[in-house]
Structure 1
Amino acid sequence: MVPHLTTALTGPLKELESRILRAQPKIEHWFRSQWLKHDAPFYASVDLRNAGFKLAPVDTNLFPGGFNNLNQTFRPLAVQAATVAVEKICPEARGVLLIPENHTRNSFYLQNVAALHSILRQAGLNVRIGSLLPELEAPMQLELPDGQNLLLEPVQRRGNRLHLGDDFNPCTVLLNNDLSGGVPSVLQGVEQALLPPTYAGWATRRKTGHFAAYDGVADEFAQLISIDPWLINPYFSHVGGVDFQERAGEEVLADKVSDLLARIRTKYQEYGIEQQPYVVVKADAGTYGMGVMTVKDPSEVVGLNRKQRNKMSVIKEGMEVHDVIVQEGVHTFETVNEAVAEPVVYMLDHFVIGGFYRVHTGRGADENLNAPGMHFVPLAFEKPCNAPECDEAPDCPPNRFYSYGVVARLALLAAARELETMAEEHGE
């Protein structure tokens, strides 16, 4: 069975989806040419928001942690994509060391590790899980709620290579750890291929850098299919020097919020959109939905109370927030079982391999859904996101999901360009 999906905006066919469907051959040719010029990240997930009048990415994660939430029907797509991705880096690859986050009590995350481990094993690789937990001195067996077991082994370093205890000497190291707290010394100067590279971690990567790259991609794509790039691209701006605890930078932040809301209102007037515009203020680095607030008026970011300041000032690994991205809020008018939902699309190399809906019964169409109380529903497609039904309506499920796959791949291409820029900055 597939989950029942309802979309608030039924009725007239969506012009954006129609244009994407009509241009499918041109779009796929363009993507092929782009992947000849740019190396796709090993994997990524993209959070999308579908407002009916606008379909845009709002976050791109280069260390995705929800492989256990994907539709199992399309596991062969993931296995094939993983094979291609590993062969690009190490054609003779036999051994892969998978390094996860240091979560030993988060069963949902560990099930993600197990799913990723299974995909790589089915791709014909010898995969073992190496932990960076400083207190782990011997292999540790973890039993998961679904009956699976994971063996975590302490990572060892010999010279410039990572090993596991019985001389497991992999040629590739796959990071499923976003390095929010920085790059540990054991990973510095490693000669094995590290996927993604350590500079892709949140200690150095910034969301504003990603969306600056996405600006260029969206403009090129919009010209390709003759649309307004705003229809697939959220406005954003950067604010530095913020200290929420000391209330430093509040006025500058309020000014940026005001400017962005004015730009959004202009677009809403142009397209006859009646919804109230809003922006999302979030930490310029980090994940797990931490350091995020929805703002509809500039006054809301001035004089925050203690609870709000605490929420915004620190993110994962206790990292303090001093830079934020002010991003145009994109409403989500999709629901699953009457609960607000947003699609999350997963990719390995440049292939769409599935996704899921992030669903939250306690949040509204203009709120962050990546918050406690959320749950996940595998994407209800009957065919992969890259297989549209060209003779069907633009908003039928396969075609809607094709549009999701297209916009997600635009974000993936932006990430590829973003990483190229970062590699130059890091002398790699």
Structure 2
Amino acid sequence: MVPHLITALTGPINELEQRILDSTPAIERWFRLEWMEHTPPFYSSVDIRNAGFKLAPVDTNLFPGGWAHLTPDMLPLAVQSAMAAIEKICPEAKNLLVVPENTRDTFYLANLAQLKRIFYMAGLNVRFGSIDPELHEPASVSLPDGDSVLIEPVVRTRRRLGLKNFDPCTILLNNDLSSGVPGILEDIHEQYLLPPLHAGWSVRRKSNHFQSYEEIAKRFGKLLGIDPWLITPMFNKCGAVNFAEGTGMDCLTTNVDALLAKIRKKYKEYGIGEKPFVVVKADNGTSGLAISTVRDAKELEALTGKGSGQMSAVKGGQAPVRDVIVQEGVLTNERIGDAVAEPVVYTIDRYVVGGFYRVHAERGTDENLNAPGADYVPLAFAESTRLPQPGAKPGASAPNRFYMYGVIGRLAMLAASYELEATDPEAEVYD
């Protein structure tokens, strides 16, 4: 399924698709050389927006929780990629401990069941160990499809983390650590912890990620001979903002005005008639919370004081939003039926393994779709993302569209690799 683009401005995106297709050998070689120097995140998901005149990532998650939304057709490629990832890290591994979020939401638990399926077929015994201090006994939760998930309390010894009678070589975090890094996960020296603790949202910042992405997009744009803006969301950031008290808003107003001016200039350059907007959101991940669309700096007043609830909503246990990223708003002009849609690309190791369209019938083209009421339409990238069809007309071919999404997803994945290297607390620093 290829959602239709409801915009007359398909020219630039078709030109971008054609340039990417024509440059496929150079692109694949470029990625191959990058992965010789940098380690990809173990897994990731990338939210992408297709405006018809630009295509850009707007968020990259290093603890993806939507595996159940992917089609079964993607399993062979996911299993193969999981094998490649494990072989690089711990070739002799036989046990994998997955540390999940502290929730009994059945949609999330179905995601765990899919992860278990992938890594079981990759040759690992997989069990789920909760770091929830309230869990003292194993708990089995039934899923709507008849499957079930067994969550067990973790057992910590001096150097290792495991379960009763289960000693894993590798620990896979599917918990984004928004509430901070619990002591039980620290000082583990004899096991592989993936992703690393500094990938969690208690440390990670979106502004660092998009700074890395911006640098990579400039080099990639030079390779293809394109304006990197066509694949990059511009951004600014502000710290020390308090929406409840209305402090720090001068910085926010200044940056919103400045970014809107830059977007207007780009729109004028490309003859785009849309009204520019920015997205103000927490600089650390909040699972679709604390996100606001702003078309004029005057609208910021509605986010302060009693009206600050929208920007104060955070994931359980997190401190209120203080650090803010102001990101160029990228329209999504894709539709499934009458509902707005955006592609989400899933990766394991350096490979795109699948994805889905996030669809929301009650949201507009300039709004966040990661919200209650969203539906998910799976995409099978297995045959399409690595096999573009060069002879097909731009905009008409599913493999070509998905290949283009896969390229953007891999650029974001590479940016995450750069980002994690730069923020690694154990990395050696040279004067």
Could you say which TM-score interval applies, normalised by the shorter chain? over 0.9
Counterpart code for 2:316? E
Trace 1:72-221 onto structure 2 (pairs within 5 A). Answer: 72-104=72-104, 106-166=105-165, 168-191=166-189, 192-221=191-220
C-alpha distance 426-177 of structure 1, shift in aligned 2 (>3 A): farther
Q: Deviations over 1:131-188 (max 9, x none)?
A: 111111111111111111111110011111012112x110100000000001111100
Counterpart secondary structure, 2:325: strand
Aligned partners of 1:427, 1:323: CA distance in 2, in Å? 27
Aligned twin of 1:299:
298
d(CA) in 2 for partners of 1:67, 1:307: 37
Does the CA contact (< 8 Å) of 1:247 and 1:303 recur in 2? no
One-letter amino acid of the structure 1 residue matched with residue 178 of structure 2: S
Match of 1:421 in 2: 422
- What residue is the counterpart of 1:399 in the other structure? 400
Letter of the aligned partner of 2:419 in structure 1? E
User: Counterpart in 2 of 1:15?
Assistant: 15
Given that 1:18 and 1:394 are in contact with CA atoms closer than 8 Å, whether structure 2 keeps it comes out as yes
- What is the distance in 2 between the residues matched to 1:95 and 1:331? 43
Is the contact made by 1:138 and 1:153 (CA closer than 8 Å) also made in structure 2? yes
Distance 1:41 1:380, change over 3 A: closer
Matched to 2:6, the amino acid is A
Structure 2 distance, partners of 1:212, 1:132, is 32
Contact kept in structure 2, 1:21 and 1:394, CA below 8 Å: no
1:316 aligns to what SS in structure 2?
Answer: coil
* Shift, 1:5, TM fit: 2.4
> Judging changes above 3 Å, is the alpha-carbon distance between structure 1 residues 31 and 426 closer, same or farther for their aligned structure 2 residues?
closer
Match for residue 358 of structure 2? 358
Would the alpha carbon gap of residues 305 and 38 (structure 1) be closer, same or farther in structure 2, given more than 3 Å must change? closer
Partner of 2:40: 40
Aligned to 1:241: 240
Using a 3 Å threshold, how does the CA distance of structure 1 residues 4 and 408 change in structure 2: closer, same or farther?
A: closer
CA distance in 2, matches of 1:381, 1:159: 43
Which has the larger displacement, 296-305 or 253-262?
Answer: 296-305
Q: Distance in 2 between matches of 1:310 and 1:427?
A: 42
The correspondence of residues 205-354 of structure 1 with structure 2, limited to 5 A, is: 205-304=204-303, 308-319=307-318, 320-354=320-354
| 1:427 CA displacement | 5.9
The runs of 4+ residues in structure 1 deviating greater than 4 Å are: 10-13, 424-428
> How many residues end up aligned between the 2 structures?
424
CA deviation after TM superposition for structure 1 residue 72, in Å: 1.0
Preserved contact between residue 44 and residue 62 of structure 1 (Cα < 8 Å):
yes
Distance between the aligned counterparts of 1:216 and 1:328, measured in 2? 16
Find the residue that maps to 1:346 and give its secondary structure. Answer: strand
Taking a change above 3 Å as real, the CA distance of residues 417 and 382 of structure 1, as seen in their structure-2 partners, is closer
- Structure 1 distance, partners of 2:202, 2:232, is 25
Question: What's the counterpart of residue 410 of structure 1?
Answer: 411
State whether residues 73 and 380 of structure 2, in contact with CA within 8 Å, keep that contact through their aligned partners in structure 1.
no
Q: Is the 8 A contact 2:207 2:325 kept in 1?
A: yes
Question: Is the contact between residue 353 and residue 381 of structure 2 (CA under 8 Å) also seen in structure 1?
Answer: no
Query: Which whole-Å CA distance do the structure 2 matches of 1:259 and 1:40 have between them?
Result: 34
Identity of aligned residues (%): 54
Deviation at 1:302, TM superposition (A): 2.1
TM-score (norm 2): 0.96
> Displacement of 1:385 after TM fit?
1.4
Residues 285-332 of structure 1: CA distance to partner in whole angstroms, max 9, x if unpaired? 013111000000000112536564022124112421100000000000
Aligned to 2:389: 389
How far apart in 2 are the matches of 1:139 and 1:325?
40
- Check conservation: 1:283, 1:324, Cα contact below 8 A: yes
Tell me the amino acid that sits aligned with residue 187 of structure 1.
L
Please give the secondary structure, in 2, of the residue aligned with 1:14: helix
1:412 deviates by 0.2
Q: Which amino acid aligns with 1:205?
A: R
> Aligned to 1:34, what secondary structure does the other structure show?
helix
- Unaligned 5+ segments in structure 1 are none
Structure 2 residue runs of 5 or longer lacking an equivalent are none
Instruction: Confirm or deny: 8 A CA contact 1:207 1:284 kept in the other structure.
Output: yes
Q: 1:418 to 1:139 in 2, by over 3 A?
A: same
Task: Tell me if the contact between 2:421 and 2:427 (Cα under 8 Å) persists in the aligned partners.
Answer: no
Aligned equivalents of 1:339, 1:297: Cα separation in 2? 26
How far the C-alpha of 1:382 sits from its partner, in A, is: 7.8
Partner of 1:29: 29
Of stretches 314-323 and 118-127 in structure 1, the one that deviates more from structure 2 is 314-323
What is the CA–CA distance in structure 2 between the aligned matches of 1:408 and 1:378, rounded to whole Å? 16
TM-score (ref. length: structure 1): 0.96
Which residue of the partner structure matches residue 54 of structure 2?
54
1:7-35 per-residue CA deviation (whole Å, 9 max, x = no partner) reads 22476571111101100000000000000
SS at match of 2:332: coil
Which amino acid in the other structure matches residue 326 of structure 1? V
Counterpart contact for 2:303–2:310, Cα < 8 Å:
no
Question: Partners in 2 of 1:380 and 1:110 — Cα distance?
Answer: 22
Give the Cα separation in 2 of the matches to 1:426 and 1:241.
28
Q: Which residue of 1 aligns with 2:378?
A: 378
Letter in 1 for 2:88: K
